[in-house]
Chain A
Amino acid sequence: MKVLEALLSIFINPQFYKIALTASTPLIFASLGGVFSEITGVTNIALEGIMLLGAFTSIVFTFYTGSAWFGILMAVLVGIGFSWLHAWASIKWLGNQIVVGTALILIAQGITGFLMKPIFGRPGQTDFIGRINDISIPGLRNVPFLGEAIGEINPLVIIAFVSVFVSWFIIYKTTLGLRMRSVGENPEAADTLGINVYKIRYFGVLMSGVLASLGGAFLSVGETGNFKELMSGGRGFIALAAMILGNWNPIGAMLASLLFGASEAYANLLQSSKLIEVPASVKPLFNMVPFIVTLIVISGFIGKTRPPAADGVPYEKAE
């Protein structure tokens, strides 16, 4: 009985919703990035690496300039540069996209690990450097429950949700979006109609760099205010899962990200719950909840989603 009470009481705790939103935000950014890349036909498993680099870059520039917003701007630029490598190798040189993506993840881990010492004087993690402050929403703050859940909110969380709708609009309402979808499905057909397949794919991959880097920046300057090695912690892969579960649609990816974020929040609160007594050594097991949810949901639903037909297939112009 006590266990059930503990399990259910979390849902009426406003903190749950606040933490869930925070946990979802990096996933939303990164999964949108995945959508942009894959809808044009380029598989981007490098999201994990781009996030890590975004988290690092934003902290570094916040450290030097004192402005977290400037840090974020630089994270976006570095994200573009880093994903450009992906585009260059896999679009221009028709590289295997999984291999390229994996290489980029390892490079990101290597660079961030290596630069810790020269910049911050020690490996592992930095001190608190600075973060973007939450803003309070005037009318909402004093509303019971809701005020506690979303009365104070990080601007990046709002930007994430705005990005969802902007992405949806670009992909489904503009000519650019129509062309992106055609390139990811049948690049040859698009090519015969005078659409530049390479340009569109570059655009998709670079957008994934922007968004995944924002997701990474949220982890550091949006949340903790410091940087830890490997702090992306598999979120890039969960974002890929969210993208797939969301059927390569921005709205779907957002909903899936919220689901995964909520399960992470749930695991957190369960660990600190006073109602159930578990030895501290067992508590880390709760951290697996989001991943288990991922597995269950993906294996249960994946049959119903449909990837872009040319996803992951390099396009070579016929001679």
Chain B
Amino acid sequence: MSYEDYAVVMKGIVKRFPSVLANDHVDLFVKKGEIHAIVGENGAGKSTLMNQLYGLLKPDEGEIYIFGKKVDLKGPKDAIANGIGMVHQHFMLVDNLTVAENVVLGSETTKSGFLFDLNEARKKVKELSEKYGLLVDVDAKIEDIPVGMQQRVEILKTLYRGAEILIFDEPTAVLTPQETEELFDVMRRLKEAGKTMIFISHKLNEVMEISDNITVMRLGKVTANLKTSETNEVEIARAMVGREVVLRIEKPPHKPKEVVFETEDLWVKDNRGLDAVKGVSLKVRAGEIVGIAGVAGNGQTELVEAITGLRKIEKGKITLLGQDATGYDPRRLRDMGVAHIPEDRLKHGLIVQYPAYYNMILGQQWWYPYSNRGFLNHQVIYETTKKLFEEYDVRPRDINMFGGNFSGGNQQKLVVAREINAKPKFMVVAQPTRGLDVGAIEFIHKTLLKMREQDVAILLISMELEEIFSLSDRILVMYEGEIMGEVRPEETTVEEVGLMMAGKKLEEVRS
């Protein structure tokens, strides 16, 4: 059989890891010049498959054909030589080097053999960047440029090495909606230029927007090959999780009770010392979810940090359970019943080099029975962790595994389990589903609604409008540190909230 028309053919790929069969006879066919999406939940085997295509892993069984020619990829070098380039999810960039230096690193332009020719490098990178519309500042250091531009540098790196096939590993996970649109424009331009692209994602709307064909994976196997124009999100989601998923969750009516948490005219500064939160006043009642919508970087992070005791409050007042709690440190707030699901679980939610059982009691380690007269009671800690692992279905069920070694979805489950186990009265939940797959998102949403029924007061901060709409009882929109207005999800529209997110006050929108 000839694979002439295909840029990539992977046939019967099997890859075993000590504890799991990551790829179980996977077939992948990618046509020349198409954008081919691979979707699947975390742990479905997408990244493993791509790492084999990029030569980072060697398949145990199976064959790989590039442009119809059988190849044996021993490392990234072989993959690059075969015209394959990879845009990694975690950028592989050297922070203190410039854009041009990063692009050419490893295949440098030289003068008389060993001298690095920076001018030639700059020229070449500029040419490439203009050719494909990948706007970059060649002389800027990586550490000084925004994430979107860093990603373009990654793309340039592959193009500089002559890539014809580009693998994008969850490229939009780190991007703002605007940056995502820019990326899609770039991808369309690359397609026009005849490049083939493989797009790994679990954001179904993005897959629908950009791809030509879709391969769905689940638990190491291919469960569907779909043509984008002939399918829909529900069908993809079903193939991903093996059952019907409620994309929009049912929210039962529930009557909120007394006010648990309140801020009055809260002012907070950001790391640069500029005002980030400018006079925010809000109330959260028991059994109520208050959603804060807004584009990232409009003071939400600083607001959350101020509320949870991580950042200094410049002015204003916080009242918790009827008590003035302004300026309390996180420990005191936690003792009073505040729980926090942070937006960056790796930075603030977990200690990646601690085993799961310690991560499961972080912030509660001085509470009885975890600790007794200053000594940790490990038996209780192990048992609690085991119990919570079952209850929240954290996988694998290995309480000795380091926090950093769990998949994103399971890390988040761990954090959620811990925070809920603290039996909070008030929960601050920031970006609870960032980077999670459909199944995990559903689980987290259901859990939050259950907390609401148990009369916990919840403040939800999210960039995902859909999440805000489906979970919140009231929605506050934040723009440049101020609240633009308060609406109820059943009485507003996405357009109205969108206008407030762009800086229009509710009165202006409705007038």
Contacts and interface: CB of A to CB of B under 8 A. Distances in A.
Interface of A: 173-179, 181-182, 185-186, 188-190, 192-195, 306, 308-309, 318
B97 interface: yes
B56 interface: yes
A181 B110 CA distance: 17
Contacts of A190: 94, 105-106
B96 A309 contact: yes
19 contacts: A174-B114, A178-B97, A178-B101, A182-B97, A186-B93, A186-B94, A186-B95, A188-B92, A189-B91, A189-B93, A192-B76, A192-B88, A192-B92, A193-B105, A193-B157, A194-B77, A194-B80, A306-B96, A318-B56
A170 to B, nearest CB: 9
A299 B352 CA distance: 31
Residue from A176, A193, A195 whose CB has the most chain B CB atoms within 10 Å: A193
Interface string B86-109: 101001111111000100011110
A189 B76 CA distance: 12
Given A186-B92, A190-B105, A194-B76, A177 B97 contact: no
Contacts of A181: 94, 96-97
B443 interface: no
Nearest to A169: B115
A182 B94 contact: yes
Contacts of A174: 114-116
B320 to A, nearest CB: 36
A175 B115 contact: yes
A175 B118 CA distance: 10
A174 B93 CA distance: 19
Nearest to B78: A194
Contacts of B96: 181, 185, 306, 308-309
Listed from nearest, the 10 A-B pairs whose CB atoms lie closest are A193-B106, A189-B92, A175-B108, A182-B94, A175-B116, A194-B77, A185-B94, A186-B94, A192-B92, A195-B106
A194 B92 CA distance: 12
A186 B101 CA distance: 13
B23 to A, nearest CB: 16
Contacts of B95: 185-186, 309
A175 B105 CA distance: 8
Given A188-B92, A189-B94, A182 B116 contact: no
Residue from B80, B105, B157 whose CB has the most chain A CB atoms within 10 Å: B105
B116 A177 contact: yes
Interface string B65-81: 00000000001110010
A179 B76 CA distance: 17
B105 A195 contact: yes
A232 B106 CA distance: 39
B280 to A, nearest CB: 33
A296 to B, nearest CB: 27
Contacts of A176: 114
Nearest to A248: B96
Interface of B: 56, 75-77, 80, 86, 88, 91-97, 101, 105-108, 110, 114-116, 157
B114 A175 contact: yes
Contacts of B88: 192
B163 to A, nearest CB: 13
B55 to A, nearest CB: 10
Nearest to B116: A175
For the residues of A in contact with B, the DSSP-based class is helix
Contacts of B106: 179, 190, 193-195
Given A190-B105, A192-B76, A194-B76, A175 B97 contact: no
B56 A178 contact: no
Given A173-B116, A175-B114, A186-B93, 6 more contacts: A178-B108, A182-B105, A185-B97, A188-B92, A193-B157, A194-B77
Contacts of B115: 173-175
Contact of A179 (B75, B77, B92, B105): B105
A263 B56 CA distance: 53
A318 B88 CA distance: 14
A199 to B, nearest CB: 13
Residue from B86, B96, B108 whose CB has the most chain A CB atoms within 10 Å: B96
Contacts of A189: 91-94, 105
Residue from A177, A178, A309 whose CB has the most chain B CB atoms within 10 Å: A178
A174 B116 CA distance: 5
B122 to A, nearest CB: 13
A309 B142 CA distance: 13
B481 to A, nearest CB: 29
A293 B106 CA distance: 41
Contacts of B75: 194
Contacts of A192: 76, 86, 88, 92
Residue from A190, A192, A194, A308 whose CB has the most chain B CB atoms within 10 Å: A192
Nearest to B117: A175
A309 B141 CA distance: 14
B76 to A, nearest CB: 5
Contacts of A193: 76, 92, 105-107, 157
B84 to A, nearest CB: 12
A312 to B, nearest CB: 16
Contacts of B92: 186, 188-189, 192-193
Contacts of B97: 178, 181-182, 185
Nearest to A187: B94
Contacts of B80: 194
Residue from A189, A195, A309 whose CB has the most chain B CB atoms within 10 Å: A189
Nearest to B54: A192
A91 to B, nearest CB: 19
Nearest to A178: B116
Contacts of B94: 181-182, 185-186, 189-190
Contacts of A178: 97, 101, 105, 108, 116
Nearest to B109: A175
Nearest to A176: B114
Nearest to A319: B57
A39 B497 CA distance: 50
A178 B107 CA distance: 11
A174 to B, nearest CB: 5
B169 to A, nearest CB: 12
A162 B337 CA distance: 65
Nearest to A177: B116
Contacts of B110: 175
Contacts of B107: 193-194
Residue from B56, B95, B106 whose CB has the most chain A CB atoms within 10 Å: B106
Contacts of A194: 75-77, 80, 106-107
Residue from A177, A194, A195, A308 whose CB has the most chain B CB atoms within 10 Å: A194
A190 B97 CA distance: 12
A188 B95 CA distance: 12
Contacts of A175: 108, 110, 114-116
Nearest to B106: A193
Contacts of A309: 95-96
Nearest to B108: A175
